[in-house]
Amino acid sequence: MTENQARPEVTLHIVSSLDGFIAREDNSVSWLEDSSGVYEAGVSIAEEEIAAFVKGVDCYVMGSRTYEHALELGWPYGDTPCLVLTRRRLQPARPSVEFHSGDVKAFLDTEVAPRFRNVWIVGGAILSQSFLGRGLVDEVRLTIAPVLLGSGLRFVGNLVNEQRLDLQNVRAYRNGFVDLHYSARG
Ligand SMILES: NC(=O)c1ccc[n+]([C@@H]2O[C@H](COP(=O)([O-])OP(=O)(O)OC[C@H]3O[C@@H](n4cnc5c(N)ncnc54)[C@H](OP(=O)(O)O)[C@@H]3O)[C@@H](O)[C@H]2O)c1
C-alpha cells in the first residue's frame, strides 16, 4: 500500500451458533440452512436487498479450508473475486479465484489495497483469528443462528489481546437468526 492509497474497509462476516461455533466437529454446516423457526417480530430480507448488498462487496478473502468446503457445498460467491490464502499449490476451480500466502498484513497492503475497497473476510476460524489478532478488521458482522451445537470449531479460539467493539446495528430475522454489526474501536 502506498502512502496516498486509501486503506480498504475490511469486514469480517461469520455465522455462529449461539454457543460460539462456526462448524460442527465433522466440519458440517447444515445447521446454517435450518430456517424453520418463526420469530414474529423479525424482519424478512428481500432478494433485491441481498443482491444490492452483495454487489457492494469488491472481493472475498478466505482460508483454503473454507474455499474447499464452499466448492463442495455449492459456490455461494458468484463471480466476485475471491482471494484464498493457502501455502499449497492449488488449481483455481473458478476464474474469479486466486491464491495467496504469507503475512496477512503484507497481503492486505500489497495484494488487496491497490485493487479493492470493500473487502469481506468470510472465514474460517483460522483466518478470522489471524486478521482479528493483527487488528486488521474494521467491521464485524456476526450472525447468530438459533442453535446450540455443544462442540465444534470455535469462531474465535485464542485471541491474544482484549478488543473493544462498538455496536452499530442489530437486526433480528423472522427465521430466528440475529445479525450483530460492530465496528472496531481505534
Ligand atoms: N459458519 C460460518 O460462517 C463459516 C464461515 C467460513 C467457514 N466455515 C467453516 O469453517 C471451516 C474452515 O475453517 P478453518 O478455521 O478450519 O480453516 P480456514 O480458516 O478456512 O483455512 C485455514 C487454512 O488457510 C490457509 N492459510 C491461513 N492463513 C494463511 C496465510 N497467512 N498464508 C497462507 N495460507 C494460509 C492454511 O491452509 P493450507 O494448508 O492450504 O496452507 C490454513 O490451514 C469449514 O468447516 C467451513 O465450512 C464456517
User: 92-111 pLDDT, tens per residue?
Assistant: 999 999 999 999 999 999 99
28 lines ligand 1 (CB under 6 A): no
User: What does the pLDDT look like over 27-41, one tens digit per residue?
Assistant: 999 999 887 889 999
Question: What top-level class would CATH report for the domain 9-29+43-184?
Answer: alpha beta
Rounded to the nearest angstrom, the distance between the alpha carbon of 76 and the centre of ligand 1 is 16
Residues in the chain: 186
119 lines ligand 1 (CB under 6 A): no
DSSP 30: G
The three-state secondary structure class of 17 is strand
Cell of 134: 493483527
29 lines ligand 1 (CB under 6 A): yes
Q: Where are the alpha helices (DSSP H) in the chain?
A: 47-55, 64-73, 104-107, 125-133
Pocket test for ligand 1, best of 11, 127, 158 (most atoms within 8 A of CB): 127
3 pLDDT above the threshold of 80: no
pLDDT band at 2, cuts 50/70/90?
Answer: low
pLDDT at residue 35, rounded to an integer: 77
Domain definitions of the chain by residue range: 9-29+43-184
Cell of 10: 475490511
pTM listed for this prediction: 0.95
d(CA 96, CA 34): 29
pLDDT at residue 95, rounded to an integer: 97
